Chain A
Amino acid sequence: MTTTYDILLTVDDLQTCFRTEAGLLRAVDGVSFEIPRGQTFALVGESGCGKSVTALSILKLLPPAGISNGLIRLGDDELDRLTDWEMQPVRGGRIGMIFQEPMTSLNPVFTCGAQIVEAIRLHRECSAREARKHAIDLLDQVGIADPAQRMKEYPHQLSGGMRQRVMIAMALSCEPELLIADEPTTALDVTIQAQILELLRKIQRERQLTLLLITHDLAVVAEMADSVGVMYAGTMVERTDVKQLFANPLHPYTQGLFRSLVTMEETRERLDTIPGSVPHLSALPVGCPFHPRCDKGQTDARCATCRPDLREVAPGHFCACYVAPNYDNAEPKP
């Protein structure tokens, strides 16, 4: 790998398992990607594919039953080697996080202002007064009208869109290098979603922020991302830049996702679907995890016996499918 441009985050061969009664479940199995500074990388996939667990592994916020392995590098620091204590200044300081549910991730018994001030004072030496002033500034920047008044309000007094803006303000409060947004607009209405996406784009432009966006919505990916990784059952099945992915999706799962989208120029009577549903992690099929649902399933004898690894089938386009053109000639390890 040559570092021709500045890579902020590198994740290499991340493995995350959970100890459960049913044994060890592999939620993330060998995920690798890197994000250049100032760019947006999107992790796409359906629920249960391991995209949120990937984000939590980066921040080391896994529940006690989770074990994670693999290289995670932020700038020059290897986060996977840090202790929990050493991670504290990184979480919220160098990496900001926006969660999906703004209602459950804000504390209902403290005012919004108190929560932002807390975040600022945890990571910075400053007086309460300075922190308060900074918090008002931030609320103003994320487009909240009358920020001084909103500081005094509790989360339940705000609408969903407002709460998400407060979350963004909090995530930005310590000027992080990396912002992880886990389904930031899923719980919002389309009109509010458009506002929040516009806000994220604006902030990213102004601050040269690097964004790891986790979503299941391909349309959001198209609007926001520079490059994309598609996940299925804990593995990354396709990774490339956004234009390439939308113009020429190579993995049958990605193609299925595109076909099942309801678009605005809809004329089909029936929608195309991917038959079946996502397998449970405790009962993953042998071979390619997607092969029982795959429309090209088992055209290659290896589909049902051996899991394909991610290979560079075209310049900058990685795909884990035996049926993808040029797969067998490609380099085994990206």
Chain B
Amino acid sequence: MTNSDNPSLLTVNDLTVRFPVRQGFEHRYVHAVERVSFTLERGRTLGLVGESGSGKTTVGRSLLGLLPTAKIHGEALLEDSNILNISHSHRRRSLTPRMQMIFQDPAGSLNPRMTVGNIIAEPLRCHRKLTSGNIWKRVPDLLTQVGLSPAYASRYPHEFSGGQRQRIGIARAIALQPDIVICDEPVSALDVSIQAQILNLLKDLQDQLGLSYLFIAHNLAVVRHFADDVAVMYLGRIVERAPADHIMDITNVRHPYTRSLLASIPLPDPTAHVGREPLTGEMPSPIAPPTGCAFHPRCPLARKVATTLPEDQTVTIASGDQELTLPRTCVDAIPTLEPVSGESHHTCACHFANATQD
């Protein structure tokens, strides 16, 4: 399906998104996304993974201009034109038809007063100069394409189950034949048996229409299955990026956060040994992120490495009700995404990425 000389369709460089907040008299910022860069190639899928609050949804929304109050810096090139901070009319004219979104909550993202047919026809009406007759010729096709009966066009969203509603949302997103579809947790709200149906449908549509997906999810198992490349986010930054099949093998995973994420996933096997150590603590506040590597207060690797370092290279910090001894670099310096030896497309932002192996 993929082709090595794929031209990159969307290139994001140093995307930074901040939300102004007021705390008393102070004006501060929520650092939702910090210097995120990635490229999305035509016909491929990039998976963005992270816990809630990691900024993965903000990345998707900022690309679509759905964050009117945010301060957005950096650039995002769709082919060669920048799509950040452009005027509303320009976005509507030239971008919306090319980038569409599928939302997490299929019930909340469909207007309950519109029939399914009208919901799917609306993007065609707004963006294509088609006669009403031609529009209504397209609607049954779109419904069939997502596996629904064309007869459903006259029904209302509440008459459908969650999985069917998500199919309606998908039909609306592909109505304009976009290049990029941003899928924001498209299966998280669905039952397991329905999840698999929707994932298969998204895959089929990608093959038929050559779509590129930015697939945002918190379930690393789903992302590894569905995406070609995986980027793991923590507190607004990408901490590790690798081809999905490369990190299928947990021994290839370098960042301690990605490892913890993988280790936290419960295994559907009652005979498996349950004795893993859950990651302690919670994600810090993005208003005042920790200095240096944002993961250092929770990082199991930093604690382990610190025991092997001479005393002048470590610092002791208070975290919650305990004291931690950590390497000085982790607390002082922000790690950058560096290629990991062995695999050219695998990058990791950890000062001790190569020590993870032991």
Contact = CB atoms under 8 A, between A and B. Distances in A.
28 contacts: A46-B191, A47-B191, A145-B320, A145-B321, A146-B320, A146-B321, A189-B51, A190-B265, A191-B279, A195-B278, A195-B280, A216-B191, A222-B268, A246-B269, A257-B193, A260-B195, A262-B195, A262-B199, A262-B221, A264-B221, A264-B224, A264-B267, A265-B248, A266-B224, A270-B200, A274-B193, A277-B163, A277-B194
Contacts of B222: 262
A186 to B, nearest CB: 10
Contacts of B282: 159, 161-162, 192
Interface stretch (B29-37, B96-104, B121-129, B256-264): B256-264
A274 B198 CA distance: 11
A312 B191 CA distance: 28
Question: How many residues of A sit at the interface, in one of the four size bands?
Answer: 35 or more
Interface string A255-278: 011101111111111111111011
Given A190-B261, A195-B278, A266-B225, A218 B268 contact: yes
B196 interface: yes
A246 B271 CA distance: 9
A193 interface: yes
Contact of B196 (A198, A217, A273): A273
Interface string A184-227: 00000111111101100100000000000000111111110100
B221 A263 contact: yes
A270 B262 CA distance: 22
A262 B190 CA distance: 13
Given A190-B261, A223-B266, A277-B163, A271 B274 contact: no
Given A162-B282, A221-B268, A264-B262, 8 more contacts: A46-B194, A191-B260, A217-B192, A243-B271, A246-B268, A267-B248, A271-B200, A278-B191
A261 B268 contact: yes
A219 B267 contact: yes
A160 interface: yes
Contacts of B39: none
A277 B268 contact: no
B268 A258 contact: yes
Contacts of A160: 52
A46 to B, nearest CB: 4
Contact of A216 (B192, B221, B248): B192
Contact of A271 (B199, B267, B280): B199
Interface in A259-299: 260-275, 277-278
A258 to B, nearest CB: 7
Contacts of A220: 266
B27 interface: no
Given A195-B279, A277-B164, A190 B191 contact: no
A292 B221 CA distance: 30
A242 interface: yes
Nearest to A268: B225
B219 interface: yes
A317 to B, nearest CB: 15
A197 B199 CA distance: 28
Which of A46, A216, A220 lies at the interface centre, i.e. has the most chain B CB atoms within 10 A of its CB? Answer: A46
Contact of A260 (B196, B269, B274): B196
Nearest to A241: B270
B289 interface: no
A256 B194 CA distance: 11
Nearest to B276: A194
A217 B221 CA distance: 13
B269 A222 contact: yes
Interface in B225-272: 225, 248, 260-272
Given A160-B52, A195-B278, A222-B267, A277 B161 contact: yes
Given A195-B278, A243-B270, A190 B320 contact: no
A146 B278 CA distance: 20
A163 to B, nearest CB: 12
Given A216-B191, A277-B161, A272 B268 contact: no
Nearest to A246: B270
Closest 8 CB pairs of A and B: A219-B266, A271-B196, A260-B196, A46-B191, A194-B278, A194-B264, A189-B51, A274-B193
A6 B301 CA distance: 45
A256 B193 contact: yes
B300 to A, nearest CB: 12
B268 A189 contact: no
Contacts of A192: 51, 282
Given A189-B218, A198-B278, A277-B163, A219 B268 contact: yes
